[in-house]
Amino acid sequence: MIHNFNSGPSILPKEVFKEASEAIINFNNTGLSILEIGHRTSLFQAVLDEAIATLKELMQLDDGHEILFLHGGASTQFFQVPMNLLNENETAAYLDCGTWGTKAIKEAKLYGNVEVVASSKDKNYTYIPKNYTIPSNAKYFHYTTNNTIEGTEMLDIPQTNIPLIADMSSDILSHVMDFNRFDLIYAGAQKNIGAAGVNIVVVKKDILGKVSRKLPTMMDYRSHIENGSMLNTPPVFAVYVCMLTLRWLKQQGGVSAIEKINNIKAKLLYDTLDSLPIFRATVAKEDRSKMNVVFVIDDENLEKEFLASCKENGMVAIKGHRSVGGFRASLYNALPLSSVQALTDLMKDFANKKG
Ligand SMILES: *Cc1c(COP(=O)(O)O)cnc(C)c1O
């Protein structure tokens, strides 16, 4: 039995793997593979339409928001956002609360001024800064909802009257939130929505077209909107896998239903961590991520032993990110509760033997 705690690309529902593999041989009984159909066919248009409609329904988006499927991963959004929204003499506000946010800040500085409103760098990003002010004259405010590497998450949406932008790569659709509050949302699909190779951008149309710089057509959100995410060849298979995963999520009862299970999974793992002194969760309690649970064992030898024990018991990718060390268990939507139970049983067993 394999338990896949990968942080991304990561576990997807079994049903999705099965259907996607069948579609590689014979897509929808057409006798054709999904890999050999043209993107401008009615076959693929139906896939894209269903992906967009399902996402819109799951996020309960209003009509002012457009959904795009783009290339280049979330990392491309780090620069595409300021390129489309920030003039050189203007200032954007950023919250610095993790590795990915730091990268977004670096790219934004290529296009305009950046004001970092708060940072948790002083404590290795183990908490979310609070009580900061978002300047009301900034062009937009950008933050990362879930810090995949460090294991912190911001569940509440910051209060501001300037355009709100979020990188939701690792917790999109994991819990209910008012997505309409955002002017732009982006997420690499490979963590909670589908296969690598595509990212989702949700953008409010009326914030676009206001910068003075010239934009390459491929970088201009408006050209992608006009062309329905088919300005050039989209990543057909990756979009297809997203559509299947979104369809699966809808069948589970949508975001509110998966949130209940995600809460149970995260609670089980954190309660176990808190009850076993041999393990130590690394981030501030109130900021703990429900998607990426980061923890350590302070004794280096025991850490190695536990890692080996995980390996023996089919726990995949439990080793922490190289910049943080220790362990990281990613509990994305598709990870079953039984995998968290297997991990916590192993932890209890290990603590009993070594503690
Ligand atoms: C993984 C990740 C990224 C980078 O995504 P790519 O698709 O590899 O560019 C950006 N932000 C967050 C929060 C992530 O978890």
Residues 6+ apart with CB under 8 A from 25: 33
Residue 355 in this model has a pLDDT that exceeds 80: no
Q: What topology does CATH give the domain 14-251?
A: Aspartate Aminotransferase; domain 2 (3.40.640)
Domain ranges of the chain: 3-7+254-354, 14-251
Average of per-residue pLDDT across 317-343: 94
pLDDT at 26: 98
Structure tokens at 121: 């760098």
pTM (global) more than 0.95: yes
Compute, in angstroms, the gap from residue 276 CA to the centroid of ligand 1.
32
Beta bridge partners of 288: 152
Residue 325 in this model has a pLDDT that exceeds 90: no
C-alpha distances out from residue 33 to 24, 52, 198, 232, Å: 5, 22, 20, 20
**Cα separation of the two ends of the chain:** 27
pLDDT at 123: 96
Is residue 74 within 6 Å of ligand 1 at its C-beta?
A: yes
Is 287 an annotated catalytic residue?
no
Q: Whose CA is nearest to atom 5 of ligand 1?
A: 74
Residue 98 CA: nearest ligand 1 atom is 13
H or E segment at 240? helix 236-251
Q: Which of 96, 100, 171, 248 is catalytic?
A: 100
Using CA atoms, how far apart are residues 117 and 154, in angstroms rounded to an integer? 15
Is residue 10 within 6 Å of ligand 1 at its C-beta?
A: no
Q: What is the pLDDT of residues 248-258, one digit of tens each?
A: 999 999 999 99
Q: What is the pLDDT of residues 182-207, one digit of tens each?
A: 999 999 999 999 999 999 999 999 99
Is 191 an annotated catalytic residue?
yes
Using CA atoms, how far apart are residues 351 and 347, in angstroms rounded to an integer? 6
Who has greater pLDDT, 312 or 321? 312
pLDDT at 321: 86
Q: What is the pLDDT of residues 234-288, one digit of tens each?
A: 999 999 999 999 999 999 999 999 999 999 999 999 999 999 999 999 999 999 9
Candidates 276, 223, 214; CA nearest to 70 is 223
Compute, in angstroms, the gap from residue 80 CA to the centroid of ligand 1.
14
H or E segment at 300? helix 300-312
Q: Whose CA is nearest to atom 10 of ligand 1?
A: 74
Q: What is the pLDDT of residues 39-80, one digit of tens each?
A: 999 999 999 999 999 999 999 999 999 999 999 999 999 999
Name the CATH superfamily, with its identifier, for domain 3-7+254-354: Aspartate Aminotransferase, domain 1 (3.90.1150.10)
Is 248 an annotated catalytic residue?
no
Candidates 38, 11, 66, 44; CA nearest to 243 is 44
Compute, in angstroms, the gap from residue 242 CA to the centroid of ligand 1.
16
Q: Which of 96, 167, 171, 287 is catalytic?
A: 167
Q: Which of 56, 139, 191, 290 is catalytic?
A: 191
